[in-house]
Structure 1
């Protein structure tokens, strides 16, 4: 999907929830679209929004990110660095989030698209009579570059 069709898709999601895509919300959404391969913190989103709309406040960005989370436009997650990070929801997603590899040295975050927990989910659902709606897997370690730096 192109950025313009994604923008229209997310605008419809907001409208379905009785919300409008105001100009400030659109700035936040455009920043997320332009950085869809990254996991941005609220402060990083704010700094990028300020470049295009200097009158936008940090509180507005926080409220907008929360609104987008509530309407399943973005996902927020904590990678263990004390800051919530956000990424766009892929409209083609089957309902499961992808998994993440987090380098504990440089902070690099890599996405793992395979759903490695499907069998485990089924087993848990059956054994505990528990309906699983979603899961997240975060694996912490050293990326390839940091491993190379570590070796003599």
Structure 2
């Protein structure tokens, strides 16, 4: 699974956890490093796979607990893309939407001013202001023929 991502500002997860009074252990520091350098939307198992190449004693439960902590603090966003495990990305940064390749699981981030404008027009026409939204498109790569 690869992702071509719009590079967000890299959050300082360790600083955020320390501020929340969470102890930073070696396994947690490794997990935070993996998250900070990820340019994709890894799931917990992928984070675990990357972590054990650095420190074989890291447990999957440590990964899950760390992800839950970060999500609860608002430092990461969890995406439950259809047909797959929850995937994670940093919170904040510029708004973007996702196109998920249903054959490879690749997640492609994109921005479209036209889509944003259309969503605003539809909401306004129906008497609403958009407070939050998330757009996920699922597709299959076109054949080159």
TM-score of Structure 1 vs Structure 2, range by shorter chain: 0.7 to 0.9
2:101 — aligned with what?
Answer: 103
- Whether the 8 Å contact between 2:76 and 2:89 is mirrored in structure 1 is yes
1:42 — aligned with what?
Answer: 44
Aligned positions of 1:10-29 closer than 5 A:
10-29=13-32
For CA contacts below 8 A with separation 6 or more, give which structure has more relative contact order.
2
Question: Is there any run of 5+ residues in structure 2 with no aligned partner, and where?
Answer: 1-8
Question: Is there any run of 5+ residues in structure 1 with no aligned partner, and where?
Answer: none
Distance 1:50 1:131, change over 3 A: same
Q: Deviations over 1:38-58 (max 9, x none)?
A: 111111111111111111111
- Whether the 8 Å contact between 2:98 and 2:108 is mirrored in structure 1 is yes
In the alignment, which of 56, 65, 68 is matched to residue 70 of structure 2? 68
Give me the CA root mean square deviation: 2.6
User: Scaled by the length of structure 1, what TM-score is found?
Assistant: 0.73
* Deviation for aligned residue 1:29: 1.0
* Deviation for aligned residue 1:65: 0.7
The secondary structure found in structure 2 opposite 1:59 is: helix
1:120 — aligned with what?
Answer: 119
- Whether the 8 Å contact between 2:14 and 2:32 is mirrored in structure 1 is no
Distance in 1 (CA, whole Å) between partners of 2:74 and 2:64 is: 15
- Whether the 8 Å contact between 2:13 and 2:36 is mirrored in structure 1 is no
- Shifted more, 119-128 versus 78-87: the winner is 119-128
Superposed structure 1 runs of 4+ greater than 4 Å apart: none
Q: Deviations over 1:58-97 (max 9, x none)?
A: 111111111111122221101212310112235xx25x4x
The secondary structure found in structure 1 opposite 2:127 is: helix
* Deviation for aligned residue 1:112: 0.7
Distance 1:103 1:25, change over 3 A: same
Structure with more helix by fraction: 1
1:59 — aligned with what?
Answer: 61
Report the count of equivalent residues: 135
